[in-house]
Structure 1
Amino acid sequence: MNFEPVLENKRVLLQPLQAVHLPDLWQIASDASLWAIQLNKLETEQDLEKYIQKGLAERAAKESIPFVIIDKQENRIVGCTRYMGLSLLHKRTEIGSTWITPALHGSGLNKAMKYAMLQYAFEEMDLNRVEFKTDELNTQSRHAILSLGCTQEGVFRRHMITSTGRVRNTVYFSMLKEEWPEIKQRVFGKYDF
């Protein structure tokens, strides 16, 4: 399996995360509004460096496939995402650890990116299941995940402790391989990705 794929459509380019992406990513990550309802905060450039190194180590261990997100309309790096918790044995992954410059929230970029990732997961990686999870308080993320055609499976109560010490409830969502063809047509068919 390729742990450094390049995913692309008309709107977005996902390239394998590399250490050299630190300066471009720091310009985005330094916006504190990104971390208001996140598990972890990237408050310093060193925090971001550790985040990148963790992603690279997980890729080397075949547990994760981290990407930088490039908006093709602006021709620049605008965030990060990854396949994480990858289990080839059980044919599943999670799409997560996604953050995008706030200026592009609601622009359609996230939907184009998720389309590329879901398409690759089901049609190339031949996975059975893609999972998403988010903080119960993150209503923007919850609505975005539902708009992809995912099914909410439940809430894991008192599931994680955030970097601020808050105990978070986590909402789980999924999409199954059998659901993908219908969702691909119904949800994504109206877009020209």
Structure 2
Amino acid sequence: MDFLPVLENKRVLLQPLQTSHKEVLLPLALEPSLWEVGMSQLTDDASLEKYIQVALTERAAKTAIPFVVFDKKENRIAGSTRYAAITLPHKRLEIGSTWITPSLQGSGLNKAMKFAMLQHAFEVMDMNRVELKTDELNTQSRNAILSIGCTQEGILRRHMITSTGRVRNTVYFSIVKEEWLAVKQRIFDKYDF
């Protein structure tokens, strides 16, 4: 399996995250609103460097594929995302750790990015299941996940402890292989990605 794929459509280019992306990501990562309801808080150069190193370590362990997000319409780096919790024996992975500069939230970039990732996961990687999860308090993320055709499966109570020490409930969503074609047609065919 390729752990350095490049995913692309008309709107977005997802390239393998590298240490060299730190400088261009830093001004985006320092936006406090990105971390109000998240597991991480990137507040300085050192926290972003650690975040990138963890992602690269997970890629080396073949449990994650982190990307830098390039918005082709705006011609600029917009944030980061990744395949995570890759479990090849069960043909399952998670799409997560997604953050996009607030100025591009709601612009269609996230939908284009998720389409590229879902399409690659099901049609190239031959996954049986793609999971997404978010904080129960993150209404914006929950609505975005539902808007790409995911099914909410449940809420895991007191599931994780955030970087601020808050114990969060986690909402789980998924799309399974047998649903992908219908989701692709129903949700994504109306877009020109």
- Report the TM range for the smaller structure's normalisation: over 0.9
User: Could you say which residue in structure 2 is the equivalent of 1:31?
Assistant: 31
User: Could you say which residue in structure 2 is the equivalent of 1:103?
Assistant: 103
Question: What is the alpha-carbon distance in structure 2 between the residues aligned to residue 30 and residue 183 of structure 1?
Answer: 34
Q: Does 1:71 align with 2:71?
A: yes
User: Could you say which residue in structure 1 is the equivalent of 2:43?
Assistant: 43
More helix by share: 2
CA deviation after TM superposition for structure 1 residue 159, in Å: 0.5
The 3-state SS of whatever aligns with 2:173 is strand
Residue segments in structure 2 that go unaligned for 5+ positions in a row = none
Question: What is the alpha-carbon distance in structure 2 between the residues aligned to residue 116 and residue 80 of structure 1?
Answer: 14
CA deviation after TM superposition for structure 1 residue 44, in Å: 1.0
The 3-state SS of whatever aligns with 2:74 is coil
User: Could you say which residue in structure 2 is the equivalent of 1:188?
Assistant: 188
Q: Does 1:90 align with 2:90?
A: yes
Question: What is the alpha-carbon distance in structure 1 between the residues aligned to residue 138 and residue 166 of structure 2?
Answer: 14
Q: Deviations over 1:153-178 (max 9, x none)?
A: 00000101111111100000000010
Question: What is the alpha-carbon distance in structure 1 between the residues aligned to residue 25 and residue 55 of structure 2?
Answer: 14
2:25 aligned partner, one-letter code? L
1:132-171 residue pairs with structure 2 within 5 A? 132-171=132-171
2:169 aligned partner, one-letter code? N
User: Could you say which residue in structure 1 is the equivalent of 2:60?
Assistant: 60
Question: What is the alpha-carbon distance in structure 2 between the residues aligned to residue 53 and residue 172 of structure 1?
Answer: 26
User: Could you say which residue in structure 1 is the equivalent of 2:20?
Assistant: 20
Question: What is the alpha-carbon distance in structure 2 between the residues aligned to residue 14 and residue 138 of structure 1?
Answer: 24
User: Could you say which residue in structure 2 is the equivalent of 1:115?
Assistant: 115
Q: Deviations over 1:60-118 (max 9, x none)?
A: 11010000000001211110000000011100000000000000110000000000000
Identity %, equivalent residues: 70
- Give runs of ≥4 in structure 1 deviating > 6 Å: none
1:28 aligned partner, one-letter code? L
The 3-state SS of whatever aligns with 2:89 is coil
2:98 aligned partner, one-letter code? T
Question: What is the alpha-carbon distance in structure 2 between the residues aligned to residue 66 and residue 166 of structure 1?
Answer: 26
**TM-score, normalised with respect to structure 2:** 0.99
1:88 aligned partner, one-letter code? L
Residue segments in structure 1 that go unaligned for 5+ positions in a row = none
1:5 aligned partner, one-letter code? P
1:122 aligned partner, one-letter code? F
User: Could you say which residue in structure 2 is the equivalent of 1:172?
Assistant: 172
1:35 aligned partner, one-letter code? W
User: Could you say which residue in structure 2 is the equivalent of 1:9?
Assistant: 9
The 3-state SS of whatever aligns with 1:130 is strand
Question: What is the alpha-carbon distance in structure 2 between the residues aligned to residue 184 and residue 44 of structure 1?
Answer: 38
The 3-state SS of whatever aligns with 1:46 is helix
The 3-state SS of whatever aligns with 1:81 is strand
Which range is displaced more, 112-121 or 72-81? Answer: 72-81
Q: CA RMSD in A?
A: 0.5
